[in-house]
Amino acid sequence: MHDTLYADALLGESFREIRHPSGLTIRVLHKEGYKSSFALFATKYGSIDTRIEQSDGSFAVIPEGTAHFLEHKLFESEDLDAFERFAKTGASANAFTSFDMTAYLFSAASNFKENLEILLDFVQSPYFTEETVRKEQGIIGQEIRMYRDSADWEVEFNLLRALYHHHPVRIDIAGTEQTIAQISADLLYGCYRNFYNLHNMVLCVAGGATAEDVLEVADRMLRPTEGKMAQREYVPEPCEPKQTYIEERLPVSTPSFALGYKERIPSPERSAKEILCTEIALEAIAGRASALYTHLLEENLINTGFGSQYFYGFGYADCEFTGESADPLRAAEEIRSAIAAIRKTGIDAQSFEQARRKLYGRMIMRFNDVDDLAVEMAQTFFAGNSLFDALELCRTVTLGDVNARLGEILEEDSTALSVILPAGAEG
C-alpha cells in the first residue's frame, strides 16, 4: 500500500493519498475539531463518455445518458435501497453525474464508519433487471421533460449545441427520451464493469474522519478488481462554432442569454496553469470590480446575477458570460466590444492583481467547506493534480502569464450566443 502526504505549509492543511491494495486511490483530508465528515466515491465516467473502449482498443457507441441512468439505478438493491439504509443512520446522501464523472456521497456528524460501509457496499453491488430499467426509463423521461422548461438549463445547453459540432458535451447529461429507451440491464452491467472498476475510481473524505477510520472500513469492504483508468476517445472539433446564434422561447418574465467563446485546443486537456490564467482573466474582464460589469449594470443591460465561467473538460473548452437582460443582443454586443478592446491593450496590472487576490481568497475559503473539498479532491485526482497545485500557481502567476493566455482565448470569430425569450413576446 502506497501512502503519500501532501501539505501546504502556508495554508497549514494536508491530505493523505493512499493507493489501496484493491486498486482504489483514497484521499483523506482530516480537519482537527470537525465533528462532521463528507465522503465521496467517484468514477471517471460522465455524460461525455458515449463511447466505450473495446479489448482491441477501438471504441463502441453507447446510448447518450447511460452514465446518468446508471447512477440512478445503482441506489437500488433486492432489499432496501441505499437511501433507506442511510436514513437509518442519520446521514444525508446523494449522487450526481457531471460531464466528466459520476459521484456518490454522504455527509454525517456521527456513525461515519457505518455510513462509509453503506457507501462502499452499494456502489460495489449493482442490481439491474429489465423490469426496473423500464420503470426508470419513464422516471428519467419525466426528468428530461422537466429540464426542458428550465431557462437556466436550456440557455446553457443551447449554447453548447451552438458551439460544438461533434463533441458529446453538446448532449444533455440525462440524454434524450429516444437514447435512454435503448438502455438495457445487460448494457448497464457492461458499462459498470468497464467504468466502475476500482482502478478508475477515487474515494475522497474530508472533515473529522481520519485516514485510519477510512482504511478500517476500506480494508473490509473493498473487493480487488482487475482494470485500469478508463480511456476517453478524443473527438476533434472545428475551431469555429456550429452556429453563431440560437434562440428559444419559454414561459419566463425576463430574457436570459449565454455568450460563449469557443477555444482552439491543440490537446484534449488543459493544464492547471492554463485554467488558472483563464479564470483570472475572466475575473479581471467581467468580475464585479470590472469596468465592464459596472457599465452593463449602469446601462440596465444586466442584473446582479450576471457572471462568467471557464467551462472545460476532456476535448472541450470555452469561456462563458451569462445573465438576464431586457436586451440580450445589446448586452452581448457590449461584452464582445469590451473584450476586443482588452485583448488589444492587455489586462492592466491593477485589474490583474485584484482578480488574482480574489481568486486566491476563494481558494482559501474553500478549505472551510468539507463538501467542496471532497469534490475538488476527486476532480483534481482525475485531472492528475494535487489539491494544492492551484493555490501554489495563484501565488506565483504573473501579469505576463495571464496576458499571454489572453492571446489564446476569447477570439471574436469563435463566439456563439444563446438567448431565451419570453413565450409569446414579439420582436
What's this model's pTM, rounded to 2 decimal places? Answer: 0.94
DSSP state of 233: P
In sequence order, which ranges of 301-398 are alpha helices (DSSP H)?
Answer: 328-345, 349-366, 370-382, 389-396
Extended beta strands in 285-380, E state: 307-313, 316-324
Bridge-based pairing state of the strands 245-250 and 59-61: unpaired
- Quote the Cα angle for 230-236-237, to 5°: 130
Grid cell in block for residue 130: 429489465
Residue 72 contacts residue 187 (beta carbons within 8 Å): no
The pLDDT value given to residue 76: 86
The pLDDT value given to residue 56: 83
Active-site residues, by number, are 71
The pLDDT value given to residue 426: 57
Q: Which residues of the chain have pLDDT under 50?
A: 427
Report the CATH superfamily, name and number, of domain 245-422. Answer: Metalloenzyme, LuxS/M16 peptidase-like (3.30.830.10)
The pLDDT value given to residue 226: 83
Closest by CA position to 331, among listed 288, 299, 285, 294: 299
Question: Within the chain, which residue ranges are assigned CATH 3.30.830.10?
Answer: 2-221, 245-422
Assign domain 2-221 one CATH number from 3.40.50.880, 3.40.640.10, 3.30.830.10, 3.30.450.40.
3.30.830.10
